[in-house]
Chain A
C-alpha cells in the first residue's frame, strides 16, 4: 500500500504525459492547453497528502513531455518543477482550507507558471513569443481545475476535501 502511494502519482503523471501527446485535433489557438492541463495534475498530486510525488518524477515527466513535444529538453521539466515547488509551498505553509482556497492557489500557480513559461520561451528564442496561446491555456486550466480535481479526489478513494489539507 505504501509502495502504491509512492509509485501511483508518478505513474499517473507519466500516463497523462503520453495522453497529452496524442493527436487530439485541437485548434491551433488551443495548442498550449494539453500541456497546461498537466500542470493541474502536478499541482494536485503534490498538494495531496496521502500520496507522494517525488521531484525526480516531476522532472522525468517534464523531460518526456519535452521529447514528445519536440521542444528543447529542460523546458517542460523546469515548468513542472516550478509548479511542484509552488504547490509544495502552498501545502507546507498554508492552513487547511476548502476547495475554493485551493482553486485560488492553483490560479496563482497557473498564472505564475504561464508567465515563467512565456519568459523562458522568449529567452530561448531571443524574441518575444506570442503570449495569446499562453493566456488562453492558463485561463482554460484555471477554469477546468475543478472538473479535473474533483474526479481525481474520488478516483483516489478519498472521501472529503481534507485530502488537500494539512495532515493532522
Chain B
C-alpha cells in the first residue's frame, strides 16, 4: 500500500506542472473573455449567437419535460381549488357584465368622438407567439430564450408580452431562437407612464423581483396600486402595454409586474417597427408570422390569445 501510495504521489508530482499550466491558461482565458464581454466585443456576440442557435433544438427538446411537469403541477393545484375557483368566477362574471355594458357605452362614445376629431387610427400590429425554451438566471442577466427567430420575422428591439402584460424585449435574434431581456434585468430601461395622470418615468431593472421607478418628478401624484404601462417615448416600444402596478414606499417606488417573470411559458413578440429599430435591423423583412392579426389593439389580442393558451388562468390574473 505504501508503495502504491508513493507511486501515486510521484505520479501526481509529475502531472501538476502540465495540469497547473493548463489551469493557469484556462483562468487567464476566462479573465480575457470577461474583459472582452465587458467591452461588448462584436465577435463575442456573434459566437454567442451562433452557439445559441446551434443548441436551441437541444434546449427545445430538453424544456419539454420541465413544461410538462409544470403543467401537471398547475393542473393538480387547479383541481384542488376547483370549487373555490368556481365561486370566485361566478362573482367575477357578475362584475364583468356590468363592465361590459359600460365598455360598450364608452366604445360608442369614443367612436362618435373619433369621428368628430377625424382621428387617425393606431398602426396595426402583427405578432408571433412561441414559448420559452431556456431560462437564464444569475447575477448578470434576467433573460429567456424563446423558440422564435428571424424566420418568424423577429428582430432586435421588438416588444415581448405574455397573457399578463409586457415582459421584455428582444436583444438578439437568431434564425430559430431569440434572446429576450426581461424588464427586471440589470440592463433594462423602459420609458413608462404612471397612473391616470400619465406621469412619465423610467422603469429600471436591478435583477430584483420588482423593477424600480426612476426619474419621477418631485411631488408627482403617484400612489400605491397605480398602473404602469409603456409610454412609447423614444419610439422603441408601442405605447400602452400594461406592465404592472406601483408598490413600495414613496422614496423608492417599485413596480409589481402583472406577469410572473420567473414563470414565463408562452409569450408573443409584437412586430413594432419604429424608425429607430428599422434602421438598426438589417435582416430580411418578416414574411408570414406564426400568428398575425391586423386590427386595432393588436397587443391586447395577442395577450388574449396567450391567455387562452395557458392551462390555467389563475386568480392572480383575474384579481387585477
Contact = CB atoms under 8 A, between A and B. Distances in A.
B308 to A, nearest CB: 20
Contacts of B136: 21, 68-71
Contacts of A140: none
Interface stretch (B33-41, B83-91, B219-227): B33-41
Interface string A11-54: 00000001101111111110110110000000000000000000
Contacts of B132: 23
Contacts of A75: 30, 34, 138, 140
Nearest to B265: A23
A26 B33 CA distance: 29
B1 interface: yes
A74 B8 contact: no
A99 interface: no
Q: Is chain B's binding surface mostly helix, strand, loop or mixed?
A: helix
Contacts of A73: 33-34, 36-37, 44, 48
A94 to B, nearest CB: 13
Interface in B1-40: 1, 4-5, 8, 12, 19, 22-23, 26-27, 29-34, 36-38
Residue from A23, A74, A92, A134 whose CB has the most chain B CB atoms within 10 Å:
A23
B66 A124 contact: no
Nearest to A74: B33
B259 to A, nearest CB: 12
A71 B138 contact: yes
B52 interface: yes
B209 A21 contact: no
B143 interface: yes
B262 A28 contact: yes
Interface in B36-90: 36-38, 44, 48, 51-52, 55, 58-59, 62-63, 65-67, 70
Report the contact-size class of chain A (Cβ under 8 Å from the partner): 35 or more
B26 A67 contact: no
A74 B135 contact: no
Contacts of B134: 21-23, 68
B312 to A, nearest CB: 13
Given A19-B62, A23-B135, A72 B140 contact: yes
Contacts of A135: none
Interface in B174-204: 179, 181, 184, 186
Contacts of A129: 139, 207
Contacts of A63: 33
Contact of B19 (A55, A69, A121): A55
A56 interface: yes
Interface in B151-167: none
Contact of A168 (B4, B48, B65): B4
A62 interface: yes
A5 B36 CA distance: 35
Contacts of B142: 31
A117 B31 contact: no
A81 interface: yes
A22 B63 contact: yes
Contact of A74 (B19, B31, B52, B139): B31
B58 A71 contact: no
B278 interface: no
A85 B261 CA distance: 35
A35 B262 contact: no
A78 interface: yes
A77 B252 CA distance: 36
Nearest to B65: A22
A2 interface: no
Contacts of B5: 166, 168
9 contacts: A22-B59, A23-B66, A32-B139, A56-B22, A68-B134, A71-B138, A124-B140, A130-B206, A166-B8
Given A69-B138, A69-B141, A73-B34, 5 more contacts: A58-B26, A67-B51, A72-B38, A74-B34, A121-B140
Interface of A: 18-19, 21-29, 31-32, 34-35, 55-56, 58-59, 62-64, 67-78, 81, 84-85, 92, 117-118, 120-121, 124-125, 129-130, 133-134, 166-168
